[in-house]
Chain A
Amino acid sequence: MALRTLVEAINDALRCEMAADERVILLGEDIGRAGGVFRVTEGLQALYGPQRVVDTPLAESGIVGMALGMAIADLRPVAEMQFMAFLYPAFDQIINHVGRMRNRSRGRFTCPLVIRVPYGGGIHPPEHHSESGEAILAHTPGIKVVIPATPYDAKGLLISAIRDPDPVMFLEPERMYRAVRQEVPDGLYTVPIGQAHVVQEGSDVTVIGWGSMMREVNQAADLMRGEGISVESIDLRTISPLDVATLIASVEKTGRAVVVHEAPRTCGLGAEIVAQINEKALLSLHAPVERVTGFDTVFPLPQLEKYYLPTTERVVEAIRRVLAF
């Protein structure tokens, strides 16, 4: 056991899996000697060499398309994108090929690959470095989408993702990379893909979040607890496939729900979650489900960032509204 940040936990997961399976190959921009723009792969090229920690040309579509070929040939590529907005050139490969290959070959060819993508705002970067495009990915058939919020989950989920027989998008919240340290076991362990985590049990209202927003969700839950309100907070951890059963069980218990995401509001994953609750737990509801989200605007430059990102206060306000309904 050691106290690790999210970055260190992910690095440790990669190190462990590379030691355990020589089919695991990392590829991406600046991931070799530089250790990646966020230093997630630091030290791995020195350990495993440039054939397994591959510095690529600046070509995101190329990285993903090449990873697909490697996966078909039974390697286990783990590709790194530098930022979510730079994943977009690779969408042709992801949507048209990665997500389809198993299906269109009726199982003859599969894509056991992982694409790691730093996402989200809060680190005051230049333009195009703060996107939260997870809903686009969740809308894409044939891939899984995993978003850890804690160092422990990040390591266990990434090991699961590398071992998964299907393609996994692994979204890493940029502003959580070094925000907290947590006890993370040294060896190999897994956290299952497709299972949400009830962070804190409660009885009055369910608050659902994932990735970077779990900090606001947990802070809001703590504040409400001080007022005698029992919040059940849920970290989805995987947004595709969605663990609907856990959400519904919680809402049936609390009768109220708030969904929090920093991605734009319209057609965000919150919309799907509200629809699932309406379909499966409508009669348990005491209030309409609230969404606390980013806006249908371009993600602002740093000076306006604090107005875009959902805050603990906005989450608390939403909780109060559903309680007062």
Chain B
Amino acid sequence: MFFERYNPLKQEMVCILAPDGSCNEALRPVLDDQQVRQIYRQMWLLRIYDRKAVSLQRQGRFGTYAQMEGQEACMVASTLPLQPQDWMATSYRETGAMWMHGVPLKLLSLYWMGNEFGSQMPADVRVLPLSIPVGTHPLHAVGLAYAGKYRQDGSMAVTYFGDGATSEGDVHEAMNMAGVYQLPCIFICQNNQYAISVPRRLQTAAPTIAQKALAYGFPGILVDGNDIFAVYAVMREAVERARCGHGASLIEAYTYRMGAHTTADDPTKYRDDAELQEWRGRDPLLRVQRYLQQHGQWSETWEQQILEECTAEVEQAMTEAAAVPPPPPQDMFRYMYATMTPPLIEQEAMLLASLHRKGEGHGTAHAR
């Protein structure tokens, strides 16, 4: 319904929940108050996680971290229609989507603390390790979607990337192939207006990113990425299309990165404060808060309660991650191949001997 009614070539954007909390009831998806309260709590948890992560990075306890503040609506609402058998391939700014699809906060924290075990997803979680080379991972989603279609097992793949990634050749190749094979694959572009410092208008002369889908032979749609109802409604339709064998979709979630690109970035060098303040007025979290207030579903006591709960949950995950002892150096070699190769066995022994001479004992080699 939405994909047919909203034309990306005319820059028509799906908007249901306005910044003031008012809602287009005719378009509002069927989510009961309890579900909206749950979404609100999940968004708060992500925002708290994000702020704590930046704080830990400043203290030297997290490595460089990619912030997601301002993009919580898209990450939470877009994952709700997914099933556990569905695959997810994300970039580095989608910690929230990964968590929503089953990756524990402790693992995500472990990754940002610099331990590869943070990407050792639980056996039943179909989320790939986040991908740092921009725009490379949508192709992996295409392959996963191909496998789902080949096996007819009802699975699909969803992939998240930013506006900058749409300039990469791999994103073109991924969407092109998904179109050719009519794959159950959903491309979600979180257009947060900047690729580090370069504004969206310098990535493409096309008025929207969503319209690019049309050239690949599948529908694209522009949606207010800070609007949980719009994102959820559109995503649900894309998921239904994929499940019914109707192929791929592109969703351009129009949003804003309120924080820096990463903790190594200073956005004041390339962004006006006025622009940031304008987007703060469209904050996805406050929007849900206003909606809940207007529907008698919000109280200060409850807000205080969920903030405390989320803070505790985040802190516990980070504390648990920090308590994981660093892996032994042998691990560098152990996971390269199913069976360690002779060159790796030799190189591991060289490192261990050197460490031993320095007085650092790390036990025996894995291969022995």
Contacts and interface: CB of A to CB of B under 8 A. Distances in A.
A73 B343 CA distance: 29
A241 B343 contact: yes
Interface in B168-199: 169-170, 173-174, 176-177, 180-181
How many of chain B's residues touch chain A, expressed as a range?
35 or more
A106 B116 contact: yes
Interface string A106-150: 111110000000000000000000000000000001101000000
B117 to A, nearest CB: 5
Contacts of A108: 119-121, 123
Contact of B144 (A61, A73, A142, A245): A73
Interface residues of A, number: 47
A172 to B, nearest CB: 22
A93 B336 CA distance: 16
Interface string A69-93: 1111111010000000000010011
B148 A73 contact: yes
Contacts, number: 140
Contact of B116 (A59, A72, A104): A104
Interface centre among A61, A65, A89, A144 (most CB of B within 10 A): A65
B273 to A, nearest CB: 36
Given A57-B180, A102-B337, A244-B342, A109 B143 contact: no
B338 A166 contact: yes
Interface stretch (B134-142, B241-249, B313-321): B134-142
Contacts of B89: 69
Nearest to B339: A165
A303 interface: no
Contacts of B335: 102-103, 106-107
A92 B129 contact: no
B66 to A, nearest CB: 16
Interface string A236-250: 000001111100000
A66 B142 contact: yes
Interface string B153-178: 00001000000000001100110110
B338 A59 contact: no
B70 to A, nearest CB: 28
Nearest to B142: A66
B143 to A, nearest CB: 2
Which interface residue of A51, A109, A110, A165 has the most chain B CB atoms within 10 A? Answer: A109
Nearest to B87: A73
B336 A51 contact: no
B140 A68 contact: yes
B145 interface: yes
B136 A65 contact: yes
24 contacts: A59-B176, A61-B169, A61-B170, A64-B139, A65-B140, A68-B139, A69-B87, A69-B144, A72-B140, A73-B144, A75-B147, A89-B169, A93-B139, A97-B140, A102-B338, A106-B117, A106-B119, A106-B331, A107-B335, A108-B120, A110-B338, A142-B336, A165-B337, A241-B342
Interface of A: 25, 51, 54, 56-57, 59, 61-62, 64-75, 77, 89, 92-93, 96-97, 101-110, 141-142, 144, 165-166, 194, 241-245
